[in-house]
Amino acid sequence: MPKILWMSPYSLHDISSGASINCKYLLEALAQQGYEVWALSSFIFDMPNGAQLFTEAKDKLTLSQKPIFELDDNGIHYIYQRCRSTFEGDQSAAEQEVYYTLLREVLDRFAPDFCMAFGTSMLTMTCFAEAQRRGITTIYPVLNGNHHSFAFPHVDLLLTDSQASAELYFRRDRIRAVPIGAFFAPERVIAKKRHPKYVTMINPSFEKGLALLARLTLVCQERLPEVRFLVVNSRGNFAENVQYLHAKGQRDLHPLSPQDFTNVDMTPGTTNMKPIYGATKVLLAPSFWFESWGRVVSEAVFNGIPVLASTSGGLREAGATLSLPVPEHCRHDFLSLPTAEEVEPWVQALERLLKEDWSEALSKAQASLSGATGLSRFNAVVQPYLEARSCDHLHFNRY
């Protein structure tokens, strides 16, 4: 069976990165299908709290105090390089040299058919160049819209999750990326018991639509006083961030304080999202920036939870039940508060989602999120590369 190597300093165990989570689920699914999967990583995370999986698995880390250690997890063989910081920009030249030397050793030892990674650092690009120099097919999963004007050097195959992202890169950059969908492990997020009581938003960061959430909750104090909101502080803290929001057109006017939000409860980010989804009636995803997919949207759909989202990128492909545009000034200034009039359509949509039966729409959305479909697309895309690689090595099979 084919061999595939993840070769990025970014950890696949990063729970703060939707891109890492998606790649991890894809590689685990390939391992279940018979691929031999290795991952060469370092302790680089999007956010420091992304390392919670390791914090909660100290037994794995204490297997060895050496700078390099190996472990097996869900069908993937991991080789990890310890480093002094979780931020990629803080990697020293010595740490990068150790990683690159280790990569060459792993390529010799494992001899993969494919190498996959994301990241735009010189270290990652050098790893792509070394893999391609050896005749190994290189794959870059593009899972956001942030690679404007990036040329993807030494990359043979560019994959993305949504049709929206594929269209963005082709229209904006004349780059062809193949959409194959997103990958999930529904059993890890579906709540066995549900006692829904909240309208929930996960990750109250500015770009994810905190300003719209803030105005919506304030309007609902009068319009829907029975509704309570839950904010999961996975990346960003609601109580802290609302104080930076400013009135529309008045950047120096910051009218909000945490005490204004009497209908909002908060909870810290967690590796176990089942209780969160178990307590959720409706999920909000009012993102202001381009969303290639929207993992929490799909996870809510798997739990039978309707989703009210913005029209950003691939959120509708992720399974959003109702989608609405956000005010234009919010798209250009993430800290700009929409007016009560501007969030009125959101209030009305929220009322519909709370009162109407959306089970049929959710069933259709669940069917569209089948992991088997994504796997078949991945296999179809890589098959020509496998066949070409097999032909290149026919001389080894003459006897």
DSSP notation for 177-246 = -EE------GGGT--SS----EEEEE---TTTTHHHHHHHHHHHHHH-TT-EEEEEESSS-HHHHGGG-B
Cβ count within 10 A of residue 332: 9
What's the average model confidence in pLDDT over 231-253? 95
Specify the range with the lowest mean pLDDT, choosing from 255-269, 277-291, 357-371, 378-392.
378-392
What the block records as the tokens of 326 is 């956000």
* Residue 162: pLDDT over 60: yes
Distance, CA of 289 to chain centre: 14
| pLDDT tens digits, 199-234 | 999 999 999 999 999 999 999 999 999 999 999 998
| 3-class SS letters over 323-362 | EECCCHHHHHCCCECCCCCCCHHHHHHHHHHHHCCCHHHH
Give the Cα separation of 37 and 31 in Å (integer): 6
Check residue 236 and give its pLDDT: 83
Check residue 90 and give its pLDDT: 87
Strand order in the sheet with 228-233: 264-268, 228-233, 198-202, 280-285, 307-310, 322-324
3-state secondary structure of 39: strand
* Residue 334: pLDDT over 70: yes
* Residue 394: pLDDT over 50: no
Give the Cα separation of 180 and 238 in Å (integer): 34
What's the average model confidence in pLDDT over 133-141? 96
Check residue 86 and give its pLDDT: 84
* Residue 331: pLDDT over 70: yes
What the block records as the tokens of 84 is 């002094």
Cβ count within 10 A of residue 147: 21
Give the Cα separation of 103 and 115 in Å (integer): 11
Give the Cα separation of 246 and 68 in Å (integer): 47
> 90-120: string of b/e by CB count within 10 Å (b at 16+)?
ebeeebbebbeebbeebbeebebbbbbbbbe
Average pLDDT of every residue of the chain: 92
Please report the domains of the chain, with CATH numbers, ordered by start residue.
Answer: 3-184+370-397 (3.40.50.2000), 187-368 (3.40.50.2000)
Number of residues assigned to the chain: 399
Check residue 48 and give its pLDDT: 64
Give the Cα separation of 184 and 298 in Å (integer): 9
What the block records as the tokens of 368 is 């569209």
pLDDT-based confidence at residue 371 (cuts at 50, 70, 90) = confident
Contact 260, 225 (CB under 8 A): no
| pLDDT tens digits, 44-101 | 887 666 566 665 544 555 445 678 889 999 999 999 998 888 888 888 999 999 999 9
| pLDDT tens digits, 280-314 | 999 999 999 999 999 999 999 999 999 999 999 99
pLDDT-based confidence at residue 370 (cuts at 50, 70, 90) = confident
DSSP notation for 43-86 = SB-SSGGGGHHHHT-HHHHTT--SSEEEEEETTEEEEEE--S-S
Check residue 58 and give its pLDDT: 47
